[in-house]
Amino acid sequence: MTERLSDVFARNQRRALLVAAVGTVATAIGALIDQQQFLHSWLHAFLFWLAFPLGSLALVQLHHLTGGAWGMPIRRLLEGATRTVPIMAILFVPIALRLPVLYEWARPDAVAADPVLLHKQPYLNEPFFLARAALYFAVWIGVAAVQERLARRQDMLGGASLAHRMRKVAGPGIGLYALATTFASFDWAMSLEPHWFSTLYGVVFIIGQGVATLAFAVVAAHWLARREPFARWVGPGHFHDLGKLLFAFVLLWAYVNFSQFLIVWSGNLAEETPWYLARTRGGWGVVAVFLIAFHFVLPFAVLLSRAAKRHPRTLVTVAFMLIAMRWVDLWWWIAPAFSPGRLHVSWMDLAATASIGGLWFAYFVQQMKGRPLISLQDAHLEHALEAHGKAAP
């Protein structure tokens, strides 16, 4: 007898909650032992998991703007992920409560002794930082809520007019996402080293979210494609489309990262080069080479093949690798701010990742329960299915 999809969801939700419980107990113990390391690890894990709801928000808007069959098998998955932003707001609380432990600019003695921090104090101060964080979450939740309301109406009514309206809303929506996410990356990650700055930082952050989210969507779509009724709607052609888009995002990730490095290297300014020096010495250079090899070179080589993009298992293997590399990439961004020139690995990095990840995934599965996995009233559904040899329901 075929297991019902609702039972599969429930079982995986229980597993996620178990992982969350173990991770939370471990991080609580870690917080008692070393509060500073706990907050370092929590910030890293928080930014890693935040990529999935925010990247989903951007990809849904992108699909509404551009159309195409690629979005059909993953749109409902992405919409489910966007509804998890509120839980990420709650998980931001430990960071908000202990800003001076993480950020040099939040320590009055450090600010008083540093002219650069004094100059940036009107922007980098605790009340304004927290107000901006509240605004970012309000923007993300608001855009997701508008998108959710239109999606529900489409499920009930259908028609081309709603698709047109969703496209009109997507333009401002993706603009608001980009602005909020760029400034959030400045506040939450770049300001860990307040003497350093990069105008490309927000772009690199956003592209990294896109890679991780698309990779997650590929994994989830493949998992669902082995089960009914999702299997009757998704075929190799859809995975080929997703593989091409993932290939494009991998290239874009490499391009923006190299562009930032090239600008800093060619400028050779004393206020810019220390950021890269801290990430290429004391063992961090090995991590940088690891990222180049497994976040770009190997995925690029595999995804060049048309056969690899049409083979779901190969594509899923690459997707898993890219998700893992996003974790390493953020670790390479954040950890050297606390241990420059000295490679430092803590068990709390994994514990915090398990704690936040288990809670996020359990909430994500909850959002998927009882929801249609395909937008059956989408005016473009029939074309998207027939383009890859699938019959319309």
| SS3 at position 26 | helix
What is the model's pTM? Answer: 0.94
Contacts of range 165-170, beta carbons closer than 8 Å, 24 or more positions apart: 166/64, 167/64, 167/65, 169/64, 170/60, 170/61, 170/62, 170/64, 170/65
- Is 389 a residue whose pLDDT tops 60? no
The torsion region of residue 67 among left (phi > 0), alpha (psi -120 to 50) and beta comes to left
User: How would residue 372 be classed by pLDDT, with cut points 50, 70 and 90?
Assistant: confident
Helix, strand or coil, per DSSP, at residue 291:
helix
Q: Which amino acid is at 132?
A: R
CA distances from 309 to 240, 251, 374 (A): 5, 15, 22
Residue 45 near residue 349 (C-beta atoms within 8 A): yes
Q: What angle do CA 31, 34, 39 make, to 5 degrees?
A: 60
In angstroms, the CA 88 to CA 279 distance is 28
Cβ atoms of residues 70 and 238 within 8 Å: yes
Please state the domain extents for the chain: 5-386
What does the angle CA 253 – CA 316 – CA 323 come to, to the nearest 5 degrees?
45
Instruction: Please write the tens of the pLDDT for every residue from 307-346.
Output: 999 888 899 999 999 999 999 999 999 999 998 878 988 9
> Which helix (H) or strand (E) segment is 125 a member of?
none
Q: Does residue 163 sit in helix, strand or coil?
A: helix
Percent of residues in the chain assigned helix, strand, coil, to nearest 5: 80, 0, 20
Residue with tokens 């969801």: 9
pLDDT band at 3 (very low <50, low <70, confident <90, very high): low
What kind and span of H or E run contains 24? helix 5-33
CA distance 382 to 282: 56
Return the ∠ at Cα 271 (arms to 266 and 272), rounded to 5°: 40
**For 19-28, how does the pLDDT look when each residue is reduced to its tens digit (9 = 90+)?**
999 999 999 9
pLDDT attached to residue 391: 47
Provide the pLDDT for residue 8: 79
